[in-house]
Structure 1
Amino acid sequence: MIKSLIINPGSTSTKLGIFEDENLIKEETLRHSTEEISQYASITDQKDFRKNIILDFLKNENIDIKSFDVIVGRGGLLKPIPGGTYECTDALIADLQKGVQGQHASNLGGILAREIGDEIGVRSFIVDPVVVDELEPVARISGIPEIERVSIDHPLNQKAVARRYAKEHGKKYEDVNVIVVHMGGGTSCGVHKNGKMIDVFAALNGDGAFSPERTNGVPALALVDMCFSGKYTYEEMKKKIVGGGGFNAYLGTNDMRTVNKMCDEGDKKAQLVRDAFIYQICKNIGACATVLKGQVDTIILTGGIAHGKVITDAITERVGFIAPVTVYPGEDELLALAQGALRVLNGEEEAKKYE
């Protein structure tokens, strides 16, 4: 039995999971107030603060820190890398500290895992960080040479549910062709072929269907006109695209439960916007099916919005002719991180080295 401590830092919280093999023993969300976080000039400056909170929690729960066999952190904004489980090497930690693609709380995952792991003498890993990029060369061409399509989306959950589907059908992830649609605060639609995510409508980079708080694909020239209209600052335009777009912009909420309630109460605008969200998701799925030349084993719907049967049924009605639809609601990131470490420690795959 392998006992693991999973660390998933967010902007105002640190989620912890304690696993024995794949069995969740304890889960906790340690919340941090704005006042606490605002004391620190940078993300990395929060390291000792968050570490002490984690250690205090374990102590209060009478959990011996030395009882863990491995520490696993959420991966951060590293250089683009293939998917997999990565050892927390010096090079990886250095790039997390620098924030080579930006500063985000998830950068602390690997840093905390390495420090705690070193102190108790066990290995530390990150798994399938948001910068996983396995796009085929043809998928990178945007039409503007100065802009390359990249993959920054939801690889941890996308790959976890693809592996889950493969296992449930007696296969390996490398043996299936699936389309995975992650529907949460951001959306992404990924093409998984033989163990790699070879193309994606990315959640963060202005591509694909809009989401509860992101615009994603919009008419380019109209967007350029807005940017140069003089009405909006650079930061205001970024907020329109990420954070203030999508359902937030149309309906004033990023909570799909609220949107569904509005629809149930007969709000015609909410119904139209929700229908448009479903419509755009289905268009993305159809485009992804062409990448696989129609050879699709299943279409997987996942993320928090996949809890809504009205939405998953409507998507299934439109795309069920392409392939069977499988629904895995939610996103069990803690389990996905634990599974990544287990695959290495059980000898199913080798840990990758970040360079």
Structure 2
Amino acid sequence: MTSTPSRLVLAVGAVLLLCLVAGVAVPVAVQAQQPETPPPLSLDDLAALDALIDEDEDTDNAVAQFDSGAVVDVAVLSAVLAFALISFKKRSEPLKMVSWVLSIGYLGFYKASLVSVVDIFGALRASLPAFQDGQAYYLLIAFTLASTVLWGRLYCGRICAFGAVTQLMDRIIPSRFRVDPPAWLDQRLVYLKYIMLGSAVLYFLASGDTLVYRYIEPFWMFTLNGSTLMWTLLTVLLLATVFVRNLYCRYLCSVGAGLGLLSNLTVFKIKRWGECSTCKLCEKTCEWGAIDGPKILVSECVRCDDCERLYADEDKCPHWLIKKHVVARAAKVG
């Protein structure tokens, strides 16, 4: 049997052995658990990081350029729309012609941005441009809709670039070439644009094809990019417009049809005098066929302000002439 001192020595030895084992094993285990120090970056790694940093900077610059470009587009478009509105409120023929030139130059050839039947297609399938990518687009659409509800087809009369082209043609081409359709024919031809609009929408809903617009709208001409057939059709249309003023706008424009329907909600309509029920002066002056006796056909009126200038002319409008005659006669009697 082992003596007590021997047992004590053995116990102390066992404890020391355990401490020795622990002293060696624990540091090894801790060292094993610590992550290895990553190797230093190579030149290729540093070059890749520099490329990523440059790419981020390029992206930031592109975003900044996009934002500044969008601001410029909105600012210039706002100026064009504001000028058109001022020319309308002033009822000024020279200002209206300047507005046409601005629309042709900026909205036409520079931006090729006109309200189109394609916008109706996009609304029907809820596929419109993202707002952050199309602030100017939404400004034009909002102005067109709001101005139509307020005053009628103001867009057609002053802002549409193609409409501006045909109206300038009417000012330049001698009147001896003009052929005015008889009233009975004109009253029927105006419905063609509604047929065009309905047919285009039905075709789109059935096929999903938006490219049909290129054959029912001449607005692509401002891009100077069209097929032989498209240029041929455009040439025929413009030649016909030499003889029949505003031919496309009056009889064939799908956008005009849509805005014509919306214009039935117009708030600020053209005022009429009591004498308008018998006077035909404005009706004969209107180049859009939008006056029928005392009635303004709001769906056809583009607020060209020709009749409104005549309406306010105290030397031509029978309302004022009769009023002057009554006043003069009363003065003589008195």
Query: TM-score range, shorter-chain basis?
Result: under 0.3
Determine which structure has the larger helix proportion and give its number: 2
Determine which structure has the larger strand proportion and give its number: 1
Larger radius of gyration: 2
TM-score after normalising by structure 1: 0.25
Larger RCO (CA under 8 A, 6+ residues apart): 2
